[in-house]
Chains A and B, each alone.
Chain A
Amino acid sequence: MSAAGGGAAVPMLRVERLRKSFGGVAATADVSIDFPAGSLTAIIGPNGAGKTTFFNLVAGSIKPDSGRVVLDGEDIVGCSSADIAAKGIGRAFQVARLFASLSVEESLMAALMSPAGRSADMAHRFPLHETRQRAGVVMEQLGLQGKAATLSGNLSHGDQKLLDVALALVLEPKVLMLDEPTAGMGPEERHQMIETVHRLWREGGLTLVFIEHDMDIVFRIAETINVLSYGRLLARGTPDEIRNNPEVIEAYLGPQAEEHA
């Protein structure tokens, strides 16, 4: 497991021999991946390869049949998704999951009450003043400050995806997992989103993992690429290594005819 960045012994996130089957079909088959601290990793693969299932397993929405998930040295398999979120995994979704009746700012401030342990506070008035500053910082990071008072449900698609990321980011996670951050976006928005994601990673020192279908984006910004196919880890490496990997090409494009004599 080649680690960029000098000799970090314990990766921030380690997945060991993760397995999950649904009705006899292996959605995730014996996947082991290390995510070093501060790395930027892409997970790609054809449709049905099990990428989102992999995310679900790591983030705790479904329980694996076997295998380990170790976050910053702590085994988190079996923990609820709420606990795992509290332990430091932030997650954004393919289809943005927002609080439609709350404004952008309210959503973030509400989200911030949770790590402060104040979600069930019945004595004070919302919003808590300590949440406003952090919410403002995150809004600026994502470029949403101009829409602070807009209801989440009224945002444009691109802004909804940004807010989705903001909701994951606002808890200062150790690992940020983005499921197709540019899904459903046009080329210009896509470019902006990925610039934002890249900037967040650079400035925040996060460990970032993202699923993506747009290969330009993947090859441009990812340090390491993991390719899943039929639930298995097919290949792992730098963009160049993956680009030229015949198995990967075959997985995506089907068997290639022999081109060279």
Chain B
Amino acid sequence: MSARGDAMSTPGASPRGRVRRAASSGRDLLVAAAGLAVLVVLPFVFSSPLLLDFMIRLAAFAIYATSLNILIGYGGMVSFGHGMFFGAGAYSFALLMQKTGVSIPVAIVGSVAYCAVLALVVGVICVRLKEIYFSFLTLAFQMLVHSVIISWVTLTGGDQGLTGGIPRPPFLGIDLGEPRPMYWFAATVAVLCLLAMRHLMQSPFGYTLRMVRDNAERAQFLGIQVARIRLAAFVIAGCFGGIGGMLMALFVSGAFPEFAYWTTSGEAVFMILMGGAARFLGPATGAVMLLLLSDLITRFTEFHGIVLGVTVLVFALVFRRGVTDFIAQALGRSRAA
């Protein structure tokens, strides 16, 4: 997103550097503000409740897919098990609201904390492994979480899911029981989360992560603690993935084992594929595309799998890149984010 022109800086021109960095920070903020403004105004222009529902689901998945791309796109760590955080976030938030009397903000914090701990435990074990084994182990852990959800019937409702709805006590004057406030809440959370993840990826940490992705050994020779960086990325991705799950739980007023199933992980990977892994907003774009595609398909045919499968094949074998990559190329910026 930040413009990196071909004009190079003269060495030592630090005031210019500061201005350029502030400019790119400011740009992100501006885009976020503009996006939020559009989102806030949306219900006044289009009053369809279906649209609001779609946007809330989009908010959840945009956060979730972008968080996975921290691992895949920025970190080079292909996790097959990211759904475990979507599920963990949903269940922990829903359970906190159902079983304890806390307010929504407190439950959010609790849910994020839970995902952080889960990510820490799983990450410590996983990040040391190479490639395919990392992928397998993350998948194994996700299915383990899924297994626990299914078998701990007294806590989670087993394969029926968590029923009984989620209490929504108003907080700070916001009543999430009403559709429009719920939508505005989801939109704001999404914009804030995307902005936060953007900031992290444009920070020194984000660039260290890219170094680790491009050449982990070299990064080590430069004194970087590769495993720690990867673990930090894993925890960050897990937390934001959990926030996506939390929004979903609010949306469906419950939590279901499918949230932690490997098909949820697969959906995020599809979003990243179709939207593009190399640009920051790629996964979010992919989320829009996949949700639209899914909704469209189910309207016309029950054979959702064939259409989706063929689409994925086309992107994987023919295009070999996502929509935002095409756009970036067209605009003459063939840089990786």
Contacts and interface: CB of A to CB of B under 8 A. Distances in A.
A100 B216 CA distance: 12
A122 B219 CA distance: 18
Interface of B is mostly: helix
Given A119-B224, A133-B12, A102 B204 contact: no
A111 interface: yes
Contact of A148 (B8, B208, B213): B8
B221 A125 contact: no
Given A124-B204, A125-B203, A115 B215 contact: no
A82 B335 CA distance: 29
A114 B224 contact: yes
Given A120-B229, A129-B18, A99 B206 contact: no
B222 A125 contact: no
Of the listed residues A61, A122, A127, A149, the one surrounded by the most CB atoms of chain B closer than 10 A to its CB is A122
Interface in A85-107: 85-86, 91, 97-103, 105-107
Interface in B1-32: 4-14, 17-18, 21-22, 24-25
A171 B8 contact: no
A83 B5 CA distance: 36
A80 B222 CA distance: 11
Interface stretch (A32-40, A137-145, A246-254): A137-145
A167 to B, nearest CB: 7
B215 A129 contact: no
A251 B238 CA distance: 58
Given A82-B224, A114-B222, A98 B203 contact: no
A81 B220 contact: yes
B295 to A, nearest CB: 35
Given A113-B204, A119-B208, A132-B17, A125 B24 contact: yes
B205 interface: yes
A124 B203 CA distance: 6
Interface in B47-77: none
Given A101-B336, A119-B205, A149-B8, A129 B214 contact: no
B12 A136 contact: yes
Contacts, number: 142
B211 interface: yes
B9 A132 contact: yes
Contacts of B25: 125
A98 B214 contact: yes
B218 A82 contact: no
Given A129-B14, A136-B12, A148-B9, A81 B221 contact: yes
B9 A121 contact: no
Most chain A CB atoms below 10 A, which of B6, B208, B336: B208
B206 A82 contact: no
Given A82-B220, A132-B11, 9 more contacts: A115-B223, A119-B223, A119-B224, A122-B204, A125-B202, A129-B18, A132-B12, A171-B222, A171-B223
Interface of A: 59, 61, 80-83, 85-86, 91, 97-103, 105-107, 110-111, 113-115, 118-130, 132-133, 135-137, 139-140, 145, 148-149, 151, 167-168, 171
Query: Which 7 A-B pairs give the minimum distances between C-beta atoms?
Result: A136-B11, A99-B214, A148-B8, A101-B336, A121-B204, A86-B223, A97-B218
14 contacts: A61-B217, A97-B215, A101-B213, A102-B214, A103-B4, A110-B204, A114-B223, A115-B223, A122-B205, A125-B199, A126-B203, A129-B14, A129-B18, A132-B14
